[in-house]
Amino acid sequence: MKKITLLVPAYNEEQVLHMFYEHVTHVIDTIKTHQFEILFINDGSKDKTLTILKELRTNDSRISYINLSRNFGKEIAMIAGLDYSDGDAVIIMDADLQDPPELIPEMIQYWEEGYDDVYAKRRSRDGESRLKKITSKEFYRLLKHIAKVPIQEDTGDFRLLDRRAVNALCEFRESQRYTKGMFSWIGFQKKEILFDREKRGAGKSKWNYFQLTNLAMEGITSFTTVPLRLSAISGMVVSIIAFLFMIWTFIKTLLFGEHVSGYPSLMIVILFLGGIQLLSLGIIGEYLGRIFNETKQRPLYFVDEYNEEKIEQFHHQR
């Protein structure tokens, strides 16, 4: 019997864990053709998340958990879960019940038909502000046009991955991660299913606009060098404009004797060029920062505990 691992990152989710467990087990208990493991990754939670996970494991042997040594972020928590998963397929889903477990049977059906990546695309997004919906839509549209790989729009981490897709993702050991882009980068046979994203089952979202902006920057700098190219092009355009303006100024002064105003025009040019330079330096700095972080080759994470076992040797963490 094939085994499927449900990979669930969790950070301060004490209010929703019992609801999630009851909802998910209600679904998987109806599927008799596969064996299931529910693997939670506790990403340094400061509430009772870890205590609840231990209680759930005591009552259900299908529950496993990884307790990371600190909060590393959801992207790192997911790769930790992929490293520790041993199912023939892995379903990644959030603990807040915004990813409906009712889609699991349909995902399994398409997986058995031969698809390696069955991903859930959001048809609607309940409980999110209009600003967040608009900015998210425009970001995915922008990234899709500038990236070298086809980026999936309105698609999160909720998906079923075949073991070979999981193994491919485990080869990505970069510390600054944009997993949504990696799903596209690895390729394989993909299948889209649509769903309506509901509100959180309980609690509040751990993502604020600063974190979402940072994730967007990770996505852009991870999968395209277009900003660097635009920086070079803007520098070239500004240089051409400055040269033409200089020629025009000489012509007006020498041929027509027209007076050239000094201070205002000089300040405008200086401020404009200074802004272009700072913008270009910022773009270059983002890419240099990524290079700096990756060259240190630090471990992606450390595990404090795996199913009541304290981890002392880290050789298995790739």
User: Is 99 part of a structural domain of the chain?
Assistant: yes
How many structural domains is the chain composed of? 2
pLDDT grade, residue 128 (50/70/90)? low
Residue 137, pLDDT > 70, answer no
In this structure, the answer to whether residues 171 and 273 fall within a common structural domain is no
Residues 196 and 233 in one domain: no
Instruction: Give the pLDDT score at 47.
Output: 86
Say if residue 39's pLDDT is above 90: yes
**Residues 51, 154 within the same domain:** yes
- On whether residue 291 sits in a domain, the answer given is yes
111 and 155: one domain? yes
Residue 284 shares a structural domain with residue 197: no
Is the model's pLDDT at 71 over the cut of 60? yes
Residue 256 lies in a domain: yes
Residue 8 lies in a domain: yes
Chain center to CA of 264: 46
Residue pair 124/196 in contact (Cβ under 8 Å)? The answer is yes
What is the tens place of the pLDDT at every residue in 105-123?
888 988 888 888 898 887 7
pLDDT digits (tens, 9 = 90+) for 273-312: 777 777 777 777 777 777 777 777 778 888 888 887 777 6
> Do the domain assignments include residue 149?
yes
Whether residues 27 and 52 fall in one domain = yes
CA contacts within 13 A on the Cβ side of 168: 16
Residue 257's alpha-carbon distances to 249, 254, 262, 263, 265, in angstroms, are 10, 6, 15, 19, 18
Contacts of 270 (CB under 8 A, 6+ apart): none
In this predicted structure, the answer to whether residue 169 has a pLDDT above a threshold of 60 is: yes
The pLDDT of 72-79, averaged and rounded, is 87
Per the structure, the complete domain to which residue 181 belongs is given by 3-211
- The reply to whether 102 falls in a domain is yes
pTM: 0.70
The highest-confidence range among 42-46, 95-99, 267-271, by mean pLDDT, is 42-46
136 and 205 share a domain?
A: yes
Q: Give the residue from 164, 185, 211 where a domain finishes.
A: 211
**Are 50 and 140 in the same domain?**
yes
Cα separation, 317 vs 211, whole angstroms: 26
Do residue 278 and residue 189 come from a single domain?
no
Q: Is residue 216 part of a domain?
A: no
- Tokens at residue 262, please? 């000094």
Mean pLDDT across the chain: 77
Q: Would 309 be classed as within a structural domain?
A: no
> Which is higher by pLDDT, 281 or 51?
51
Buried b / exposed e over 132-148, threshold 16 CB at 10 Å, is: eeeebeebbebbeeebe
pLDDT class of 6 with cuts at 50, 70, 90: very high
Rounded mean pLDDT, 184-207: 71
**Confidence at residue 145, expressed as pLDDT on a 0 to 100 scale:** 61
Last residue of a domain, one of 158, 178, 211: 211
